[in-house]
Amino acid sequence: MGPKVRLRGLKPEMNTALQVARDIFALYQRDCIVTSAVDGKHSRGSLHYVGYAVDLRRRVFTDPGQVDDVTAMLRESLTPEYDVVLEPSHWHIEFQPKRGLNL
């Protein structure tokens, strides 16, 4: 993880997500680097501020196919309460319990 990133204040659900991500990245011998957790600048109302989101460095993967594979694996490995968003520089993973099944 980056030297300036503080994991203090992260909710336990995000430790679960980080463990899953580390295992997936390890399949490719890549380090799982947290670029932002509770700190950093985020949009208003972001789950980062309440410890329910992490950002993971994307550029450790240079192959676009692997990026897509990792994204798919993250989504498959985490329960539906987690959202995995592929951003230009990072994966944003957040935890937000779904309210019922209003499809």
Secondary structure of residue 52 in the 3-state scheme:
coil
Nearest to 48 by CA among 2, 85, 9, 74: 9
**Total residues interacting with Zn ion, rule: CB under 5 A:** 2
CB of 101 to Zn ion, least distance (A): 26
Q: Is residue 92 close enough to count as binding Zn ion by CB under 5 A?
A: yes
Q: Supply the minimum distance, in Å, between the C-beta of residue 99 and Zn ion.
A: 22
What whole-number distance in Å separates Cα of residue 43 and Cα of residue 29? 32
What is the Cα–Cα distance from 81 to 13, expressed in whole angstroms?
10
Least distance from Zn ion to the Cβ atom of residue 54, Å:
7
- For 6, the token pair is 């503080």
Name which of 35, 27, 39, 42 is nearest 1 in CA terms: 35
Interface residues for Zn ion in 39-68 (CB under 5 A)? 55
CB-nearer residue toward Zn ion: 57 or 92: 92
Q: Which stretch binds Zn ion (CB under 5 A): 14-22, 58-66, 74-82, 85-93?
A: 85-93
**Using CB under 5 A as the criterion, which residues of the chain lie in contact with Zn ion when the complex forms?**
55, 92
